[in-house]
Amino acid sequence: MTNEWLSDARKIPDDVMSYIRKIAVRAVVEFGWSPECVYKIFGISRSCLYDWLSSFRRGGYEALETRLPPGAEPLITREMDVWLKWVVLSRTPSDYGYDTALWTCGILAALLAREFGVEVIGATVNAHLKKLELSYQVPRYRASEQDPVEIERFLNDTFPRVKRYAEKRGAEIAFEDEAGVHLDAHAGRTWGARGETPEVIATDKRGKFNVLSIVTPEGNLQFSLKAGNIDSDTYIGQKGRGSSFCLSITPPSTAQRRCASSIVPIVTGSAFTSFPAMRPSTTRPNSFGERSRTTVSVDNPSKTRPTSRND
């Protein structure tokens, strides 16, 4: 409530005004207050209160709700709403000649003009999408080259054999990957005074560190940093720590191929296999009885991979 409401009832919000009408009418009808007292307390005119009482006698408390003007007929009809939802959920802009796979309200507005001859702005489309229970999101990307058949083969055949092989060797299964971290890469947020952007001292030099890491389903992590390139010697040294059976998240590199052929004679209990380039996400339960989002793909067996279904 603001002081302006006391001097100008036109500034009272519609939902609040509906509540005031009901309180005033209830005071007269149910509690027996005189209309003269009620209209003076609420600061309204005598005729205004009697209009409310007349509306109540005709339609009850529902008749005291604020009636908003209907406005113009919407340009986007129910049929267009159905089409909008179908397009957003089952098509991409590239299907209509655009060079992007991400929907924007501007593109959808242009398609409405093309398909239905209706000219609307992006804000109008935005309002309709929200009413259709759609939201603007960061998508999850999936490689177009992935093969669902090979994915099923890996999940139902290859990985169970990998697990049996690791158990036979007394090793734990770990997932490995390499990444480059640039010195001038900045991410994250911090707190500061409102309206004043915080300043953080950081280097502006070019360069990067290469990170090599492995992680187990239990959350055990091993990693190493190197300023130069990760060669096969570095790779073998990292994979030689502890006893683990490594599953590569990335397509096999030269260092990984050398590691696959030479790490077994060097370190007892360690082995290596890898996946090719396409590695779709999966939320299927893994072999540890948990739901996992680890990105995996079809197998590319190395020399250390089990060769029999019955190992």
Q: What confidence tens digit (pLDDT) does each residue in 14-29 have?
A: 888 999 999 999 999 9
Question: What is the pLDDT, as a whole number, of residue 15?
Answer: 85
130-146: average pLDDT: 88
Tokens 């409401």 belong to residue? 5
Res. 73: pLDDT tops 70: yes
pTM for this predicted structure: 0.48
Q: Dihedrals φ, ψ of 78, to 5°? A: -60, -40
The architecture CATH gives domain 143-181+206-311 = 2-Layer Sandwich (3.30)
CB 271 within 8 A of CB 169: yes
Closest C-alpha to 171, from 250, 246, 224: 246
Length of the chain (residues): 311
**208-215 β-sheet, strand order:** 221-226, 208-215, 172-182, 244-248, 271-274
- DSSP bridge pairs for 300: 274
Q: What confidence tens digit (pLDDT) does each residue in 269-282 have?
A: 344 444 444 444 43
The helix (run of H) or strand (run of E) holding residue 57 is helix 46-59
Question: What is the pLDDT, as a whole number, of residue 273?
Answer: 47
253-262: average pLDDT: 46
